Amino acid sequence: MALICYHASHEQFPPSELLKFAVMAEEAGFDGIHSSDHFHPWSERQGQSGFSFAWMGAAMQATSLPFSMVCAPGQRYHPAIVAQAGATLAEMFPGRFNLELGTGEAINEVITRTGWPDKRVRNERLLECAGIIRRLWDGEEVTYSGHVKIQQAKLYTRPLQKPLLLCAAISIETARWAGSWADGLLTTAEHEVEKNHEKINAFRDNGGASKPIYLQYGFSYARNRKRRGRRSFSSMALKHTSPRKTRKPAYCQRF
């Protein structure tokens, strides 16, 4: 079964404008909404960084579609706060919210001034965070000390239906690792179709065979090829301009 979802890009558009886009996406027939999560945009030209968790509540109230968002717990977000935010959304909107966990991007995470760990450490930290979030959603009182620390934490508002915890992975290696613990996979689509199959198979062969997989495609569109190329380039350029000039929807396809 394939689902076509609209990607809400907080690094490109103000949250008020994205809220309108979410309503328009439902009216246009999209099957769901996926949200990015940035503290800094990719470039000055993009120029936005709304707080995704706050926006999610408004967008889910304004529509009836299922939603998901990517999040990197462990550095900028403590996993207990991620668990509380996710539980709150899932309690208010039963069966409509899932969460994709990733190891993060330095452009967002180093604001904590705690350095940028190597990939091995970030993977270990992410797995710890996923375990903590799941235990809190199960109603446990959690005390843990590792890459992240938590003491006597318990969630008192929990949803009847727990969200899925998917993994956001870019590489084949990370997709394979995610198959062993994540409830599903979100990954970016490659231009070479065979590479997409390699990531999908790596995830499925290591425990993800029966789990949902989503591919994110990026598109640049305009009235002609030349203008489309300028828009595609300008969305990542470093000179500041209005994000209205660089609109780029993205889609997820479930396999």
Selection from 99, 51, 106, 33 nearest residue 71 by Cα: 99
Angle between helices 119-137 and 79-92 (to 10 degrees): 50
Active-site residue identified among 38, 100, 109, 128: 38
- Distance CA(152)–CA(139), nearest Å, equals 12
φ, ψ dihedrals at 243, nearest 5°: -65, -15
What is the DSSP secondary structure assignment for residue 190, as one 8-state letter?
P
12, 46 contact by CB (below 8 A): yes
Residue type (1 letter), 26: E
Active-site residue identified among 17, 91, 105, 124: 105
Asked about 44 being catalytic, the answer comes back as no
Locate tokens 């809400």: which residue? 8
Helix, strand, coil shares of the chain as percentages rounded to 5?
40, 20, 40
Asked about 240 being catalytic, the answer comes back as no
93, 82 contact by CB (below 8 A): no
Which residues carry out catalysis? 38, 105
